[in-house]
Each structure stands twice: as C-alpha cells, then as structure tokens.
Chains A and B, each alone.
Chain A
Amino acid sequence: MSLVAIRVVAKNTYLEVIRDRVLYVLVMFAVVFLGLCFAIGQLSYDEIFRLSMSMGLAGIHICFIGLTIFLGSAFFYREIESKTIYTIVVRPISRSQYLLGKYLGLLAVLSVLLLGFILAFTLIQLLMGLPILATTYSSFLGVFLESALLLTVTFFFSSISKPFIAITTTVCFFLIGHWVSSLDALVAKSDSAVFYVAGNVIVRAFPQLEALNWRPFAIAKVHVGLEDLSFGIYLTLAWSLLFFILSVMIFRRKDLV
C-alpha cells in the first residue's frame, strides 16, 4: 500500500504542476533568457562556439535551478497555506510517504522541463549553425543532479519557514555551495588557524556543487569522466538523503495550522 500511495501522490503532483499555467509563463521567460544568453555569446569576435556554449549552458543552469527552487517552495505554500494537504494526510499515508511522493512528482516535472530545455537548446544551436555534439549533453545530467539535490534543500527550508525566506535561504545555499570549492583552495593555502578552522567548517557544512558543474567538459568537447560522474551521483544521493530525512523529521512533527 505504501508504494502505491507514493506513486499516487507523485502522479497527482505531476498532473497538477504540469497543467499549471504559471509554470509555462516561467518556462517562456526561461527560454527567452536562454536565447539572450546565446545572443551574448554571438558578440564574441572569435571562439563563438566556446562563448555561446558557455553562456547557453549557464543560462539553462540558472533557469533550471530557479524553476526547481520555485516549484519546491510553491509546493509547500500551496499544500499547507491553501490547506489542500488536510484531506491527504488523513488518508492511510504517512507524512514521509507523502513527502516522498511529492518529491518524485516534482522530479518528474523537472525531468520533462529539462527535456524541453534540451530541445530548445538544440534548436537554438541549429539556428545559429553551431555543431551538435554528444559531449554537450552530459553536462545536463549535472544540472539535473544539482536540481534533485536543491529540491530537497528547498523542502527542508520550506518546512521551517515561509516561502520567501525558504527561497532566499536556498538561493544562498546554492551560491555558497558553488563557492565552497574556491574556499577550500583558499583554506588550504591559509596560514591563519582561525580561518583554517572556520573555513573547513563551512566547506564541510555545504555540498561542493561545483563538482556537478560539468559545463567545462562540454565546452572542451570531452565526455565527463567516470570518476567525476560517480562522485557527482554520490554527492547528490548523500546530500539529498540528508536533507530529505531532515525535512521528514520536521514535517512529521509539524502542526499543519
């Protein structure tokens, strides 16, 4: 019964979100943004491929992460603030199963959106006469893994705060997560004991999201190595699991006022 309940909630979440017009307005803006990123790449005198790819992939990354954070926090707002959750949690389903169903449903929506983005990306590449390379597409897996991780982070912050604060803190988490690799390098070179300890605490407290940034591989026209791929999957699973468990622990105790 529990797996059935998770599947039913996931399917319902997928249907509800994928039919929401707000999503399409956001996707439209994202595609326009993506086009602009490519257009900026065209301003280069030489290395048009390199700059266009760099800007285009960064555009997809930012749009997709933005959509992930929006969908994650909107789910909590909609379900709890508008009280649709009441009629679900009184059914034979535990709160952890419900949260897992929601997570999988949103992940399904994100998968469809990513496929759409990849399609749009490919079309823009074709229109601009850029070569279509298989190496480009492996970087999208990194974006998806990062989004799967950040979705659990959004769940966690949404379970303890209002949507605006949850969005803000998740964005900060995302920025720090990309910055910790640089910090790690600085800490290693530092002579200050205080900076060393404090820096190390920060480095350990956040996932190294740069490990999921596989855009340089795409730009260099090489495939992502097995080691990078394995570490990326491990990083995503470990941190997602941690934040999901924390979210469940809070959500189970939460009064749904």
Chain B
Amino acid sequence: MVLEVNNLNKNFRHPWNLQKIPVLKDVSFSVPEKSVVGFLGSNGAGKTTTIKCILGILHKTSGDIKILGKDHADISVRKHIGYLPERPYFYNYLTAHEFLKFYGQLSLGIDSKNLENKIDELLGLVGLTHAKNSMLKSFSKGMLQRIGIAQALIHNPKLLILDEPLSGLDPDGRSQMAAVINNARDQGATIFFSSHLLDDVDRLCKDLVVIKDGQVRFCGPKEKFVSRQGRTYQLFYSDQGKEIIESVESLELLQSKIDSLRKQNKLISRVETERISLEEAFRELNREVSL
C-alpha cells in the first residue's frame, strides 16, 4: 500500500471554552499502489482535515499514518509526495519558472541537472509555456491551479495528493486537469484526490473513500459502492407468454418475489440491478447516515 491510515483521530479545541471538538473519528483506509482513489464527502465532512493530517500540516490526535511503509512524519518520505492544496495561493512575485524551480530545488536538491528540462516539460503539459516568465500575480485562477499541479509533479512523486483539484475550473480547465491527472497515473504515480464534483470522480477513479461527519463510510471499488447503494432491481419474468418487468426496491423483497413467482411456476428470465449514478449513490449514502 502506498498510503495507510489507521484509526486516525483529530480533535480541535473550541477557542473560548477549550472543549474538545472531534473532527475525525477513527478514520481508516488504504490506497493501493498505482491506483486513482477519489476521496468523497460533503463540505465539512473532514476531507481536507484528513489530507492535512496525512501531510503533517495538522498534527493528528491519535492514529497511525504510513506512506510507502514509513511513518508519515519521516522527512525522507516527503521526497515522494506531491501536493496541491484547495484554493492554492502562491508567491505572487515569482515567475512561473522561478516558482517551479523553487519547488524542484526543495525536493530534488539545488544541482539537479534535469530540473530545467522538467520545468519546460511540465509547463508544456499544463499549457503554460507562454507564461514561463510571467509573475504569478498576473495568473487567472485556472492558471494558478495548473501551475499548482505542475509544482506537485515537479519531482515525479510516487504519491500525488490533490485537494479539490477540479473545483472552480471551467469545463476546458477541468478536462485539462483530468488529462494531467491521467498522465501522472500513466507515469506510475498513485493518486489520491478529494472532490465534490462527482462526475469528475466517476470519470477518473476506480476506487473510492467516502467520508461523512469525520467517519469513513465506504472504502473500496467504485462499482461496489454504486451497486451497494443501487437498491432498485428489475425482475423479468414470463406470464402467459408475455414478458413482464417488475421493479423491486430491496434485496429482501426481491427474494420473496422470486419465491412467490416460483411457487406460481412463473419463468424468471433475468434480474438486473439498476445502476444508479455515483451522485445518486452518494446522496443515498448521505440519506441513510442521516436516518
């Protein structure tokens, strides 16, 4: 596993009465090598807090976090991590080239011979070659997001952690960002990214971690999540030569319906699970948890 999070807890303190506010409660999940894992949750569910704990930006209250088999606090492991924060703010008075050089030197050392080539390659990949010598203060939000992902990729990280990389981008920007993420995956990076844009998650990920109220509600393949939440079954059977389609709401009802049809000697031709969208599955999970 590239990333393993076990029983992660994080409490904040109320600023006035110093009362404990638990934000993450026994969060556990793992991210397999070379996978693209979407980290889903509503606003305030604990996505960014989890990511910040993984990266050591916030100190965990308890729990165990391992990156590439080492404790996450081990500085040597950070050579292999690329990170793009949500709503990135960068140094306004650096040019795109200086900015990438700064991050490259921080991760690779000052004498990396390939750094200049890598900078040019990444600027090309994110479509910012024309802005190489422009200061970041003149960049639009989309351009900042693109230079942000370039800084995350400058040292060829093994684990790429992206916090809402697609939010606030126009459709073209989102497509371009998705292409960059796919490219990183093709290069062998493991990608863990949070998003509330479910269409994009659906498009990019095979695995999901779903968090709500600071607790992990699901961890595993996307298809399993969707089928688990997909409660509608369609039952196809013949009655006096006519094909009849009946919708059944739950697995229990489906079983009893099949039993009843068998007793009536009806010929059941097939049962189909109606595939709901990721968005519907996510809403269904939220509804279930609220009940």
Chain A interface residues (CB < 8 Å from chain B): 1, 4-5, 7-9, 12, 15-16, 19-20, 82-84, 86-94, 253, 255-257
B94 adjacent to A90 (CB under 8 Å) = no
Given A84-B89, A257-B58, check contact A92 B94 (CB 8 Å).
Answer: no
Cross-chain contact of B106 among A83, A93, A255 (Cβ < 8 A): A93
Evaluate contact between A90 and B81: CB separation under 8 angstroms.
yes
- Taking a contact as CB atoms under 8 Å apart, the answer to whether B78 and A255 are in contact is no
Does B75 touch A at the CB level, under 8 Å? yes
Contact in complex: B78, A90 (CB < 8 Å):
yes
User: What are the nearest 9 A-B pairs in CB distance?
Assistant: A19-B93, A82-B89, A91-B106, A92-B78, A86-B85, A8-B105, A90-B55, A90-B83, A255-B58
Q: Identify which of B76, B84, B94, B106 contacts A16 (C-beta below 8 A).
A: B94
Docked CA distance A125–B152 (Å): 52
The 8 A CB mask of B24-59 against A (1 = contact, 0 = none) is: 000000000000000000000000000010011111
Check if B98 sits within 8 Å of A87, measured CB to CB: no
Q: Classify the secondary structure of B's interface with A.
A: mixed
Q: State whether B91 touches A90 (Cβ < 8 A).
A: no
Contact A12:B102 (CB < 8 A) given known A86-B85, A93-B75, A256-B58: yes
Q: Which residue in chain B gives the minimum CB-CB distance to A93? A: B106
Whether B75 contacts A86 by the Cβ 8 Å rule is no
With A8-B102, A9-B106, A16-B91 already in contact, the answer to whether A90 and B56 are too (CB < 8 A) is yes
**A-B contact sample (9 more), CB < 8 A, given A86-B52, A94-B75:** A1-B109, A4-B105, A7-B110, A12-B94, A20-B92, A84-B89, A84-B90, A86-B57, A255-B58
Q: Is B103 an interface residue (CB 8 A)?
A: yes
- Complex Cα–Cα for A28 and B80 (A): 45
B69 to chain A, nearest CB (A): 17
Smallest CB-CB separation from B53: which chain A residue?
A255
Is B227 interfacial (CB-CB < 8 Å)? no
Over the window 83-115 of chain B, the binary record of Cβ atoms lying under 8 Å from chain A Cβ atoms (1 yes, 0 no) is 111011111111000100011011101100000
A5 touches B106 (CB 8 A): yes
Indicate if the CB atoms of A4 and B103 lie closer than 8 Å: no
CB nearest neighbor in A for B85: A86
- Asked if B229 lies at the interface with its beta carbon under 8 angstroms from chain A, I say no
Contacts of B87 in A (CB 8 A): 83
A83-B85 CB under 8 A given contacts A8-B110, A15-B93? yes
Contact of A87 among B52, B88, B92 (CB under 8 A): B88
Specify the chain B residue showing the minimal Cβ separation from A256.
B57
Check: B79 CB closer than 8 A to any chain A CB.
yes
In the assembled complex, the CB of A141 is this many whole angstroms from the nearest CB of chain B, namely: 30
Q: A8-B102, A20-B93, A253-B59 are in contact. Are A87 and B83 (CB under 8 A)?
A: yes
Also in contact, A87 and B103, with CB within 8 A (given A16-B93, A19-B93):
yes
Question: Chain B, 103-147, contact with A by CB distance < 8 Å: what is the 0/1 string?
Answer: 101110110000000000000000000000001000000000000
Task: Report B52 CB to chain A, min CB distance, Å.
Answer: 8
Chain B residues with CB under 8 Å of A16's CB are 91-94
In the assembled complex, which residues on chain B have CB atoms less than 8 Å from the CB atom of A20? 92-93
Interface residue B151 (Cβ < 8 Å from any Cβ of A): yes
Q: Nearest Cβ in chain B — how far from A249, in angstroms?
A: 14
Interfacial chain B residues near A83, Cβ < 8 Å: 85, 87-89
Q: Which residues of A are found within 8 Å of B148, using beta-carbon distances?
A: 87
Residues of A within 8 A of B152 (CB): 87
Q: Give the distance in Å from the alpha carbon of A19 to the alpha carbon of B92 in the complex.
A: 9
Q: Report yes or no: A84 in contact with B91, Cβ–Cβ below 8 A.
A: yes
- Chain A residues with Cβ below 8 Å from B75 are 92-94
Residue of A12, A89, A92 contacting most chain B CB atoms (<10 Å): A92
Closest to B74 in A: A92
Write out the residue numbers on chain A whose beta carbons fall within 8 Å of the beta carbon of B56.
89-90
The answer for the CA separation of A2 and B152 in the assembled complex, in Å, is 20
A187 to chain B, nearest CB (A): 38
Q: List 12 A-B contacts (CB under 8 A).
A: A19-B93, A83-B88, A84-B89, A86-B57, A86-B83, A87-B84, A87-B152, A89-B56, A90-B83, A91-B107, A92-B76, A92-B78
